[in-house]
Amino acid sequence: MLVVKARDERGICLSPVRCLAGVVCIFSVLFFHDARATTLNETIELALQHSSLLRQQYFQTDLAVIDKSINEAERELELELHLQGGFGHVTMGKNASRYVKKGERFPLSAIVELSYPIDIWGIDDRDDKIADKTIQQRILEAEVVKHRTIVDVVNVYVALANGTLERHSQQQRVKFLSKKVEEAKQQLAVGLYTKPFVEQIIGEKVEAESLLADYDLSYSLNSLLYRRLTGQHPDSIDNEIGVPYFPDDIISIREGVDRSPQVRALQYALDVAQLQAKNTEASFRSTLELTANGGVQEGSIYLTERIYNYEFMLRWNIPLGNRASRAAANRSRTLISLQQEALQSTRELNESQILQLIRQHKIVAQQVGKLEEKLFVDVANLDATTRESNVGKSTEFEVMARRLDLLETQNLLKLNKNTLASIAYQIRGLLGIAD
């Protein structure tokens, strides 16, 4: 058995856990070697192509189109043809009428009947409308899935971008605290620092390392989610994301909600339920049917050897039972009420969510303004501390601290701007804005 012992740069054997971590890193590099870097727009397109839910919704649209074709074909075959035939045996005695032939007869008959139902309640016309509205509903439902997929991708992309910024800032903080710990130990050795003070600095370093580990774990989880949405590994992420346009006045929001794919799909569903309710009521009403039949009969008991007959008839069927019709009508009205409630609640919920997101957007925008002001202050402080360091009035650690403050402010500013972009995409998703 071959045993491989990994050693670090000093030749010291690494622990099994660190060896395993190294193997996992190597495997990750080899496994994701074919991943390509993508921008946000490219990631969105990739996710839309990869989404199985979106493909399923497109199949639902195709099925609605097929159902319409089947319904039209069935109506074309409503003309029914009935064939009837008969054979019998008749024996007439000698006391029969003189108009009747004596002896055995074998009567034969054949009848052809055509029947065609007449749509007097407009069921066929409503069926066409139901099919068309169902197709439109499925198309809009696919748009809803598309916008939800876009929002999911943007949220993951923003989480990865912000995670990159957070990890970078925290890595620099850990590096700064590591140097600070080394300096503190040296000062402790010469009696300039006390042991509790040094332990406090070490505690800050441990806490910073723990937070960095949390950021790394969060980034890994978001990377897995990114791969599930796109089928690829996030090899490269843009850390700064542009904020797209969205309406922010109440009139435009309400108009946008009414035009959104989700609300329009529910409106089509309500229209379909109302049409189906009318068809349910019509199916329990009287029906009208046109029939035509003709036939021939020969070998009868009468002197005439062959008889021809034909007739045209309008058949009016009147159902007598009404319990089933009342129950079906009640069910249809209940379905209509459900669709109305779903439509109204969705409209109100989306409007409320959008207004809440706009308030969050304004709060984050204010934070961005404050961070931009702080950025100027941090730049000025770094310049001043650097000049003081050149003349011996400030230490190297004070300059490093100023640089770290500036870096954290810059990254926090980018993080908040990315949050603005995420909120904007959520609003656009609820309004159904794609371009």
Helix (H, G, I), strand (E, B) or coil at 290: strand
Mean pLDDT, range 160-179, rounded to an integer: 95
pLDDT in the model for residue 305: 62
| 27: confidence class by pLDDT, cuts 50, 70, 90 | very low
Query: Is the CB of residue 406 less than 8 Å from the CB of residue 379?
Result: yes
Helix (H, G, I), strand (E, B) or coil at 218: helix
Q: What percent of the chain is predicted at pLDDT more than 70?
A: 80
Tokens of 179: 């140097």
pTM above 0.85, yes or no: no
The CATH 2.20.200 portion of the chain extends over 80-118+286-318
pLDDT in the model for residue 93: 52
Which CATH number, 2.60.120, 1.10.3210, 2.20.200, 3.40.50, labels domain 80-118+286-318?
2.20.200
pLDDT in the model for residue 107: 64
Mean pLDDT, range 247-260, rounded to an integer: 93
Query: Is the CB of residue 335 less than 8 Å from the CB of residue 126?
Result: no
Burial class (CB in 10 A: 0-12, 13-18, 19+), 383: exposed
Which range among 95-104, 120-129, 318-327, 331-340 shows the weakest confidence by mean pLDDT? Answer: 95-104
- Rounded to the nearest integer, the mean pLDDT of the chain is 83
Query: Is the CB of residue 69 less than 8 Å from the CB of residue 134?
Result: no
pLDDT in the model for residue 109: 72
Mean pLDDT, range 296-306, rounded to an integer: 58
Residue corresponding to tokens 């969060």: 218
Mean pLDDT, range 229-255, rounded to an integer: 90
Longest pairwise C-alpha distance within the chain:
150
Which range among 15-19, 99-103, 135-139, 256-260 shows the weakest confidence by mean pLDDT? Answer: 15-19
Separation in Å, CA 87 to CA 13, 108, 256, 257, 367: 104, 5, 73, 72, 97
Mean pLDDT, range 398-408, rounded to an integer: 94
| 295: confidence class by pLDDT, cuts 50, 70, 90 | confident
pLDDT in the model for residue 170: 95
**What pairing do the DSSP bridges indicate for beta strands 103-105 and 108-118?**
unpaired
Mean pLDDT, range 382-403, rounded to an integer: 90
Q: Percent helix, strand and coil across the chain, each rounded to 5? A: 65, 10, 20
Higher-confidence position of 201 and 288: 201
pLDDT in the model for residue 77: 64
Structural fold of domain 121-153+216-284+323-435: Outer membrane efflux proteins (OEP) (1.20.1600)
Candidate ranges 79-93, 152-166, 232-246, 271-285; pick with highest mean pLDDT:
152-166
The CATH 1.20.1600.10 portion of the chain extends over 121-153+216-284+323-435
Tokens of 226: 């990114």
The secondary element (H helix, E strand) that includes residue 364 is: helix 323-390
CA 139 – CA 61 distance, rounded (Å): 6
CA angle 139, 142, 144 (to 5 degrees): 115
CA 122 – CA 125 distance, rounded (Å): 5
In this structure, the dihedral spanned by the alpha carbons of residues 422, 424, 426 and 429, taken in order and rounded to 10 degrees, is: -130
